[in-house]
Amino acid sequence: MKIAMIGTGYVGLVSGVCFSDFGHEVVCVDLNPDKIAMLDAGQVPIYEPGLDDLMARNVGAERLSFTTDLAQAVAGADAVFIAVGTPTRRGDGHADLTYVYAAARDIAAALTGYTVVVTKSTVPVGTNAEVARIIRKAAPEADFDVASNPEFLREGAAIDDFMRPDRVIVGVETKRAADVMADVYRPLFLRDFPIVTTDLESAEMIKYAANAFLATKITFINEIAGLCEKVGADVKQVAKGIGLDGRIGNKFLHAGPGYGGSCFPKDTSALARIGQEHAMPMQIVEAVIKVNDEVKRRMIDKITDLCGGSVNGRTIAVLGATFKPNTDDMRDAPSLTIVPALIGGGARVRIVDPQGRREGEALLPGATWAEDPYSAAKGADAIVMLTEWNEFRALDLERLAGLMASARMADLRNVYAASDLQEAGFVAYTGVGRAGFGL
């Protein structure tokens, strides 16, 4: 099949590359000529393990190409995917659909023959109907259908998620559109991965409901962690105990400094806004947003307490700045709340992150960046484990303690056991939802 992918951000690029690996002819479109030039040169503008090799293989097979010419890419396409950004709109928390609707107008002007226009961007309920209205108004004679095909890609594991998904959601209005989408995803259908076909509105809602539920699960265990600290329980044992219940499951039950990233913050905010607009307040989601913000502030208090009640004049080494491991994504990362608060309190902050420096230097002014954990820890008064990269999971704790002016750790991902830190010479430790020492 011939596929046009409008947008080469995280979702568009990963999806376009993976569709080409299915054997389809894919053209990825972006209005930014610098990004297209980078892609044409074989350079991937985002960090996603394995994406560079997969892209190179399919470009070499002449199934994948990049262009700024939307009209050329859309002409004759069987399916055109809209995969542009839907950031949180300033002022009201709603999803900003400016780029989606602009893409719809541009697509309308370029349609030739029957085409399924597929929204892959995360959009509020009713957006696909509006996309159809925009196209019909701009091109009354166009032969097209719209479809909703939300993505469920985890950054750092996106290729595996695309190739071996838990499910594929396809919202359509006609059998004709359903048949095209079945052909698009035929390699997955033949391997018995679930393809769930719904109406447009249900597909749109599934995406928001899924992300809101996962954000709720994270926030729930973080709130339980706070209570564990008060009563002397260990949140890791609690999470294991409840996660073995098949009705609950063990995923997304890792206590930490709050959720971040490109999806959960904006999607919970948008869902709360949708509920308000329809006089059906999403009270649980609104509470999740509030508690998640409080969790991040509680982490700042933990670090301050670790440093004796003030970070003023302290040197603090921060391990990890991205919102999760195996990505360079800094969007709504806990570091964007925690690091500025430490600097504002008078601390000297050194950061080390395998992929976060490129974006992080501009987003975290006042911090300095180190090449590795040991150089970051040299002469430091405290270490903060903020993102659990594999590189940080097996550190030489004795060496680390020996380099520090005062061997203290705030392990906000519960990577290390208190007993191991104590044995290595650390004088103080605080985790999340578990007992510390030296405080």
Residue 391 assigned as binding residue? no
pLDDT of residue 439: 87
Catalytic residue among 28, 228, 263, 307: 263
Residue 290 assigned as binding residue? no
What are 248-267's pLDDT values in tens digits? Answer: 999 999 999 999 988 899 99
Tell me the domain boundaries of the chain. 2-198, 199-439
Strand order in the sheet with 348-352: 368-369, 348-352, 315-319, 382-385, 408-411, 428-430
Are the beta carbons of 161 and 154 closer than 8 angstroms?
yes
pLDDT along the chain (439 residues), means of 10: 96 97 98 96 94 97 97 96 90 87 97 97 94 97 97 94 97 98 96 96 97 98 98 98 97 96 92 94 98 96 97 98 94 95 98 95 96 97 97 96 97 97 98 95
pTM of the model: 0.92
For residues 24 and 4, give the distance between their C-alpha atoms in angstroms, rounded to a whole number: 10
What are 123-149's pLDDT values in tens digits? Answer: 999 999 999 999 999 999 999 999 999
Q: Which CATH superfamily is domain 2-198 in?
A: NAD(P)-binding Rossmann-like Domain (3.40.50.720)
Q: How crowded is residue 370: how many other Cβ atoms within 10 Å of its Cβ?
A: 20
Phi, psi angles (nearest 5°) of residue 105 = -65, -40
Are the beta carbons of 311 and 304 closer than 8 angstroms?
yes
Tally: H helices and E strands in the chain: 18, 14
> Catalytic: 263?
yes
pLDDT of residue 92: 76
DSSP 336: H
Residue 331 assigned as binding residue? yes
Residue 112 assigned as binding residue? no
Written out in words, the top-level CATH class of the domain with range 199-439 is alpha beta
Please tell me if the domain spanning 2-198 has the same topology as the one spanning 199-439: yes
